[in-house]
Amino acid sequence: MTAHTTQTQNDDIPAYNRTLIVVILIAGAFVSVLNQTLMLVAIPPIMQDFDANPSLAQWLTTGFMMASGLLIPITAALMDKYSSRTLYIAALVIFTLGTLLGAVAQTFTVLLIARIIQGAAAGIIMPMIQTLIMIMFPIERRGAAMGLVGLVIAFAPAIGPALSGWVVDHFSWRYLFVLILPIALLVIVATLMFMKNVTRQRASRIDSLSVVLSSFGWGGLLFGFSMAGSAGWDSASVLVSLLVGAVSLVAFIHRQRGLEQPLLDFNVFQSHTFTITTFLSVLVFTLLIGTQTMIPLYVQSVRGMSALDAGLILLPGAVLMGIISPLAGRLFDRFGIQVLAIAGFTLLSIGMFILATMPDNGHPTWLVAASISQMMGATLLMMPLITAGINSLPVPLIAHAAAMNNTLRMVGASIGTAMLVTVLSGRAALFDNPDSPAAIAAGIHLAFWVAFGLGLLGLATTVWLRHHVLRERRREQRAINEASGA
C-alpha cells in the first residue's frame, strides 16, 4: 500500500496520511483480537493459582466476549457523537488499563474484571476499524484495504494458542498480559502523535433505553448460548437468559424503527446483498471459532498431546492466512465476491470433511492439512464478505453496518459453538464413561460432520448471493442509463 495523503472536502476533517492511519488501526486490531484466544491455554494454571473450578474459569473467555458484544452495537452511535481520534484513543486507554489490571491481579474476581474491561474496549475498536477503513478508501480499493484487516482478525486468534502455550510453559500466565502491555502503550503513543479524525460528527444523543434494551438483548443471548454447552439447554439460567435476551432484542428492534437517530440502524437489511453476506460471514466465523475450539480439545483429550502441540498444529494455517488475506482483498477488488465465496466454502467444507473422517490414530499432519484448508477458506471469505455487504450500502450506514456485522458474527459464533459442544456432549453421553477419550473422539467427529453440513449450506447460499449481486448490478446500470438519457 503506497503512502497517500487524503485531502478532505469538509472543514472539520483535516488532511490525513491514509497509510499511516491504517498501520495504527491494524496495530490496535492486533492487540485487541489476540486477547480473544490468548486465555484458552492459560486457564488450567489460572484455575490452580486461584483454586477456581472450570465453570468459573471459563468466564475469562465468556466475560471478554460478552463485554465486546455489549459495546459493539453502540459503536455506531459513539462514532456519530465523538471524533474517530478521540474514541479510538479512549478505547485503547481502556484496553491498556484492563491489561495492566490483569497483569497485577491477585484474585480471580480482579482478573475477571480486567478481562471484561479488555473486552469492552475491543468491542469498540474492531467495528471502528472496519468503519474507518471503508470510509477512507474508494469502493474499488476497499477489498485490498480490508484484506490487511482480515490478516489481523484471522491471524491473531490463530497464533494465540501457540503463543500462550509457549508463554505458560516457560513463564507465568501473567506474562500474557505483560507481553501485550508495551505493544498497547506503543499504539497509544503512535495514535496520539499521528491519528487524525476521518469522520464527520453530527449533533446526536444516545438513547438510554436503547442502550439498556441492547445490553439485555445481545447480552442475554450471548450469555445463554455461551453457557448452554456446559450447563445444558435445560438449565434455568440458560433458558431465562435466552428468554430475556429474545424479548429485549425484539423490543430493541421495535424502538430503533421509531427513532430518528437509532442506536443501531436496521435499515441496513434493506440491502439483500448485505443480508446474505452477513449471514455467510456469521457462518464462516462460527466454523472458524468452532474448529479452533474443537481441535485443541481433540489434540489434548483424545491424542494425549500438549497444549503447545495444539497451538503448533494451528500455526501453519495461521501463517498462510497472513499471506493470503491481502491477496484475497485484491482478488475481491478484481473479480468480486462470487468466485471467492465458492472457493472459500469449498475449502472450508474439505477441511471439515477431513476432520470428520480422520482416524484417531492418523498422523498429526492430517490435522495440519485440515486446519490449513479451513483457514484458507475462511481467509478467502471473511473480509471479502464484509466488504461486499458494506459496499452495497450508502456511506451514512457504513458505521451501522460494521457494528451490525460484528455483533451478529459474535452472537452467531456463540450459537454455533454452543451447538457443536451440545452435539459433542450428546454423543459422548451415550458411552458408559462420557469423559473417556473414545467418547470425546466420537462426539468431536460428529460435531465436525455437523460443521461439514454448515459448510455445504454456505456453499449453496453463494448461489443465492450471486443472483442478488447480479440483480443489483443490473439495477445500478439501468439507473446510470436512465440518468444518461435524461
- Is the residue at 449 inside a domain? yes
Identify whether 454 is part of a domain: yes
pTM for the complete prediction? 0.75
Coil, strand or helix at 364: coil
- The per-residue pLDDT for 3 is 45
Name which residue leads in pLDDT, 41 or 447.
447
Q: pLDDT tens, 409-419?
A: 877 777 777 77
Q: What is the CATH number of the domain that holds 182?
A: 1.20.1250.20
Does 485 score more than 60 pLDDT? no
> Of 206, 221, 246, which residue sits at a domain end?
206
| pLDDT value of position 196 | 76
Rounded Cα–Cα distance for residues 188 and 5 (Å) = 21
The whole-chain average pLDDT of the chain stands at 79
Q: Say whether both 59 and 148 belong to one domain.
A: yes
Is 291 in the same domain as 410? yes
Check whether residue 37 and residue 175 sit in a common domain.
Answer: yes
Residue 350 belongs to some domain of the structure: yes
Query: Phi/psi at 353 (nearest 5 deg)?
Result: -65, -40
pLDDT bin (cut points 50, 70, 90) of residue 119 is: confident
pLDDT band at 178 (very low <50, low <70, confident <90, very high): confident
Q: How confident is the model at residue 313 (pLDDT cuts 50, 70, 90)?
A: confident
Say if residue 167 is in the same domain as residue 280.
no
pLDDT per position as a tens digit, 182-204 = 888 998 998 888 877 776 666 66
pLDDT over 70 percentage in the chain: 85
**Is residue 341 in some structural domain?**
yes
Is residue 128 pLDDT above 90, yes or no? Answer: no
Residue 168 lies in a domain: yes
- Residue after which a domain boundary falls, among 139, 174, 206: 206
282 and 142 in one domain? no
Supply 167's cell numbers.
508463554
Q: Identify which of 240-249, 328-337, 359-368 has the greatest average pLDDT.
A: 240-249
The pLDDT of residue 96 is: 92
Pick from 52, 65, 156: nearest CA to 118:
65
> What's the number of domains the chain is made of?
2
List the grid coordinates of 143.
477489498
Whether residue 110 lies inside any domain: the answer is yes
Higher-pLDDT residue of 369, 194: 369
Both 171 and 27 in one domain: the answer is yes
Considering the domain architecture, whether residues 77 and 149 belong to the same structural domain is answered as yes
Predicted confidence at residue 13, as pLDDT, reads 43
Are 194 and 284 contained in the same domain? no
Residue 231 within any structural domain of the chain? no
Query: CA 108 to CA 144: how far, in whole Å?
Result: 42
- pLDDT given for residue 479 in this prediction: 54
Residues 168 and 72 in one domain: yes
* pLDDT recorded at residue 204: 64
pLDDT the model gives residue 192: 86
Residue 474: pLDDT band with limits 50, 70, 90: low
Q: Same domain, yes or no, for 298 and 154? A: no
Does 276 lie in the same domain as 174? no
Distances in Å between the Cα of 303 and the Cα atoms of 127, 295, 299, 308, 397 are 38, 10, 5, 13, 48
pLDDT value of position 324:
80
The range of the structural domain enclosing residue 323 comes to 264-476
